[in-house]
Amino acid sequence: MADNCNDQSWIAELESALKEDGSVDIDGVNEDPFIPDALRPEIWKSCLFFNHHKPPYFDEIFDLPEQKIIREDCQNFVDKLGNAEEEKLCVISDVECLVSTYCRNTGISYTRGNGWLDLLAPLLALGLHTEDTYSLFEGLRSRYVPRSYGELWALFRLLLLYHDPNLCSFLDTKKISPESYAAPWFQTLFAAPCSLPVVTKIWDLYFQQADPFFMLFLGLVIIINAKDHLLSLKDSSKEAVCEAVSSIPSGLQESDIEDLFALAQEYASRTPGSFRQDLERRVFEDDEVAEGAEKISQALCLPVSVSELVENIHLPPAIGEELLRFFLVDCRPADQYNAGHLPTAFHLDPTLMLQGTSVYKMAVQGLLSAQQQALDAGSSAGGEHLCFIGCGALHEDQYTHMVVAGFLRDYRPYVSILSGGYHALHNYFGDNVEETMSDHNQESCRVCLESGSQAGNQNVGTNGSSTSPSKDLFGKIGAVVKSKSAEVKDKLLEYIVNPTGGNVSERHVSPNDRRGKRYRGGSAVFTIDDSPTVPYAYMGGDEEEEDSQYETVSVSAWKTRPDLIASFECQEVKMNGQTYERRRLFKKFLPFKGKS
């Protein structure tokens, strides 16, 4: 009896709040996060900013180019709803009117399988007027449904890589991208794979979150919780694994939803949030990528902005215990690190990779040991989340990217990289760099030297005239030519005296030794699988020069060669940190036998 009274008083409070200002905080009224059936229409309207949308105009003119497809899909959709036969015709007409009006008002064409009808199902279940249903549908799509999916799939993969690199690697090995299994999840906000009662409860909590990215963390929990089952399918086909992943949400029950959201909130709180400010407008408002902006689809791991990093390292340990904390790994060369670094950054010289595996492994073990000691001591420098700091210049960070790739290859979670590296960090602090950086030395700091050089280019010349950029450029070229002239002269004299080059040292063959373009002007001799022949371009570096060094071959033909030992898929990490799918083939080495 008491519980019933409490429920009635809660509903009364909700109704009063909705009448006052049209909005309500359910958590502040009752501990139960789910919405009563009687109040769901009004609360969903409030969450979707129902009053901000103009009333639709239904002209009921069905003359769109895709009208036939819309009508067929609406008929199939209504057949699945289970309405009485005498109601079906009316419902079909209403649904077709909703979809057609939305297409006409927004200029977006309807395509089969775009998830619109699945989104309409929970809204139709509210039993509202057609105008109200349309406004809710418009608000739902504009606020929570992505407009652009390319970067969304890349982001979801990076989130999975951040929290469970082992599972991410397994799916990558199977060539299963998020698009192939999560499209029905995110296009329909889980309305397609889940039952109507489950979707209703998911949307109750999802709208209260008011975070369009939260669906990614729901998907993350769903797929990670099924990790053991998915890894057991390692010998299954790509199609079987993909189907297994895609069907996971269909097993959700109403009793699972509250725990699902609690886990998703935990994952969200333990994930760097920099991607939100960079991607929200591009994903949910379809803004174009700004010129020079980093594409997350080519990121090696999850990027972290300078502002988020600085805010994180200044959190007191007591406050940040339950939040993510970064352990900073500065991967610049020793001379650059010694000229200025963050006080809490651990130095890992990436050039140690060139000195031998044992030396580098020892340095990594030292890093992990220092991280654990800082965590045990409750130090402000301690954190489970590794954030790597490079130079910030693409041509200098190739070793940093190799280090990061090594940690990912070892399935280490919580790996991120600072966007812009030390250069962006230095610029962020500006005039306060001396107070915030340790051991900062302007005479040795690379960023300070570059800034001084750029300022010097604008100084007045010795003859009293301003030095123009073009003259400065040619002056630099002239200086380089003069400095090299003596060296070239000595080498030329040496060649004249000793033309045979008897002191030439032995070395491995390099791809750069192959000169000249093969099959120039002719048709392609090989093709990759059965795909159309396209010019091969080596991504990164001088593409025109690289084109002349590589030939297009058929992978399927190579797999049938008797001298092939093994083949496996991998990723190539460019100097700028971008990754590309590759396949590496190994064949037997047959030594050349000369004449005896």
What is the assigned CATH class of domain 20-144? Answer: mainly alpha
320 CB neighbour count, 10 Å cutoff? 17
pLDDT higher than 80, residue 257: yes
Instruction: Say which residue the tokens 């991410």 belong to.
Output: 168
- Please, are residues 108 and 102 in contact by the beta-carbon 8 Å criterion? yes
Most confident of 16-20, 409-413, 498-502: 409-413
The domain locations on the chain are: 20-144, 150-284, 300-452, 517-587
The one-letter amino acid at 13: E
Length of the chain: 596
User: What single DSSP character describes residue 347?
Assistant: E
**Across 520-548, average pLDDT:** 40
- Please, are residues 331 and 390 in contact by the beta-carbon 8 Å criterion? yes
Show the 3-state SS of 44-97: HHHHCCHHHCCCCCCCCCCCCCCHHHHHHHHHHHHHHHCCCHHHHHHHHHHHHH
- Cα(343)–Cα(340) distance, rounded to whole angstroms? 9
- Cα(407)–Cα(388) distance, rounded to whole angstroms? 11
- Side-chain-side CA neighbours of 119 within 13 Å: the count stands at 25
CATH value of 150-284 in 1.20.1050.140, 1.10.357.10, 1.10.472.80, 3.30.420.40: 1.10.472.80
**Of residues 502 and 446, more confidently modeled:** 446
- Tens-place pLDDT, residues 172-213: 999 999 999 999 999 999 999 999 999 999 999 999 999 999
In angstroms, the Cα distances linking 369 to 346, 350, 372, 457 are: 11, 18, 5, 46
All residues at 6 or more sequence positions from 145 whose CB lies less than 8 Å from its CB, including other chains: 115, 119, 186, 187, 189, 284
**Across 349-355, average pLDDT:** 87
- Please, are residues 407 and 386 in contact by the beta-carbon 8 Å criterion? yes
Tell me the percentage of the chain whose pLDDT exceeds 90: 49
| Tokens (6 digits) for 12 | 């009364």
- Please, are residues 561 and 529 in contact by the beta-carbon 8 Å criterion? no
Report CA dihedral (402, 433, 278, 166) to the nearest 10 degrees: 30
Q: With bands split at pLDDT 50, 70 and 90, how would you rate the model's confidence at 298? A: confident
pLDDT higher than 70, residue 70: yes
Q: With bands split at pLDDT 50, 70 and 90, how would you rate the model's confidence at 546? A: very low
Whether this model's pTM surpasses 0.85: no
- Cα(596)–Cα(524) distance, rounded to whole angstroms? 39
The answer as to CATH 1.25.40.10 being correct for domain 300-452 is no
Phi-psi category of 111—alpha, beta or left, where left has phi over 0 and alpha has psi -120 to 50? beta
| Tokens (6 digits) for 438 | 């340790």
**Which strand (E) or helix (H) includes residue 343?**
none
User: Exposed, middle or buried, 435 (CB in 10 Å: 0-12/13-18/19+)?
Assistant: exposed
Most confident of 22-31, 191-200, 540-549, 558-567: 191-200
Question: Is the fold of 20-144 the same as that of 150-284?
Answer: no
Of 100-109, 187-196, 207-216, 578-587, the least confident: 578-587
In angstroms, the Cα distances linking 128 to 7, 42, 550 are: 24, 10, 63
Distance of CA 98 to the CA centre of its chain: 34
In angstroms, the Cα distances linking 171 to 166, 227, 401 are: 9, 11, 22
Most confident of 211-215, 285-289, 547-551: 211-215
Mean model confidence pLDDT for the chain: 79
**Of residues 568 and 46, more confidently modeled:** 46
The one-letter amino acid at 378: G
